[in-house]
Amino acid sequence: MIKAKTGDLTQEMSLHNPTTQEEAKTTIFLLEKDLLLGVGLWSDCLKIFGDMCRDGKLRADENILVGVLSSCANKGDLNLGRCTHGSLLRTFNVLNIVVETSLIDLYVKCGSLNKGKSLFEEMVVKNKLTYSVMVSGLANHGRAEEAITVFSDMLEEGIKPDDITYVGVLRACSSAGLVIF
C-alpha cells in the first residue's frame, strides 16, 4: 500500500498485486499521475514496475515506459533509463513523439547532453514540449548559446513558446551574461 498525498488530500491506493494487464497499466498511470503532481514517488514507481515485470503481470507499452523514463530522469537513474531506452528500441520500430521527448528529458536531466541533443536532432517531428525540454536542458547545464539556437529554431518552425520555454531561455541568457538582474 502506498499513500499519495496531494495538497490537503491524502489518498490511499492499493498498488500491490494487480492481476491483469489493464490493472497494471492503471497502477502505473496512477503513479505517473501522482508523480506529475509533484508527489515524488519515483523510487516506488520503479520498484512496482520492476516487480510487475518480474512477476509477468505487465507487458510494457510506450505509455508505461514513458512513466518509467520520467521516474529515471527525476531520480537521476541514467543506467535504468538506458536499459529502458534499449527495451524501447528492441520492442518498437518507431517511437512516438512523447517517448522521444521523454528520452531527451532523461538524458539531459542526467547530464548526458550530447546524447539528448543527438536524439533531438534525429527527430523528424518536434513539438513545443520537445523544444522546451531541449532549451531547458542546455540552459541548466550552462550551454547558453546552444539553448538560444534551439529556441531560434523553434521560432523558425512556427512553434509558439510557452512559459516553460521562456524560463529556459531566460536562464540561458542570464548564464551567458545577456540579462542583468
Tens digit of each residue's pLDDT (9 = 90 or more) over 99-151? 999 999 999 999 999 999 999 999 999 999 999 999 999 999 999 999 999 99
Q: Which residue has the cell 542526467?
A: 110
For residue range 46-103, list pLDDT tens digits in order: 666 666 666 665 566 777 788 788 888 988 989 989 988 988 888 888 999 999 999 9
For residue 37, the 8-state DSSP code is T
- Rounded to two decimals, the pTM is 0.75
Report d(CA 97, CA 49) in Å as an integer: 22
CA dihedral for 136, 138, 144, 148, sign (positive or negative): negative
Report d(CA 110, CA 112) in Å as an integer: 6
Q: CATH 1.25.40 residue ranges in the chain?
A: 2-119
Residues in the chain, total: 181
For residue range 67-76, list pLDDT tens digits in order: 788 888 988 9
Region 33-50 average pLDDT: 57
The residues that bridge with 6 in the sheet, in sequence order, are 9
Would you tell me how many other CB atoms lie within 10 Å of the CB of residue 46? Answer: 19
Q: Which residue has the cell 490511499?
A: 12
CATH number attached to the domain at 2-119:
1.25.40
Report d(CA 136, CA 99) in Å as an integer: 18
Report d(CA 34, CA 72) in Å as an integer: 15
In contact, 138 and 146? CB cutoff 8 Å: yes
Burial of 172 per CB tally in 10 Å (0-12, 13-18, 19+) = buried
Q: What's the pLDDT at 7? A: 40
Q: What's the pLDDT at 24? A: 62
Report d(CA 62, CA 132) in Å as an integer: 21
Identity at 173, one-letter amino acid code:
C
C-alpha pair distances (Å), 48 with each of 6, 63, 68: 20, 15, 10
**Grid cell for residue 91:** 520492442
